[in-house]
Amino acid sequence: MFKRVIWMGAGFGAGLSSSYWVKRAVNRRVERYVPSEVRRTVGAKARSAGATVKSAVDEGRVTMRAYQRDAEAAVAAPRVAGGSPPPSGPRLRAVPD
């Protein structure tokens, strides 16, 4: 049992140190071969993509809340004689901010 613990620790240490070494080696190669302008452009594009995703999520939340208000208003509205019954199906839940 003790041998397994030792070999497990040795494997973990080897994996951890080799992954750290590979990461440093790749970063050094990137720094050497990629011009600084390309690095800045890629960084700007990545930040831009993050902002695009955030705005899409915000827009989805606004639309979802509007749909939620409309659905709750339709369910809560009194029926007029001869009108259609309220929709049946799963209840809609509010989404927290």
Same domain (yes/no): 48, 66: yes
Question: How many domains are there within the chain?
Answer: 2
Per-residue pLDDT at 10: 94
Can you give the residue range of the structural domain that contains 8? Answer: 1-33
Do the domain assignments include residue 29?
yes
Same domain (yes/no): 41, 71: yes
Mean pLDDT of 41-69: 90
What's the token pair of residue 68? 């939620």
- Give the C-alpha separation, 17 to 10, whole Å: 11
Cα atoms in the Cβ-side hemisphere of radius 13 Å centred on 84 = 5
Same domain (yes/no): 4, 25: yes
Amino acid symbol at 24 = R
Amino acid symbol at 35 = P
Do the domain assignments include residue 8?
yes
Can you give the pTM of this predicted structure? 0.39
Do the domain assignments include residue 64?
yes
Per-residue pLDDT at 34: 75
Same domain (yes/no): 71, 41: yes
- pLDDT-derived band at 17 (thresholds 50, 70, 90) equals very high
Same domain (yes/no): 70, 41: yes
Same domain (yes/no): 12, 42: no
User: Is the pLDDT reported for residue 89 higher than 80?
Assistant: no
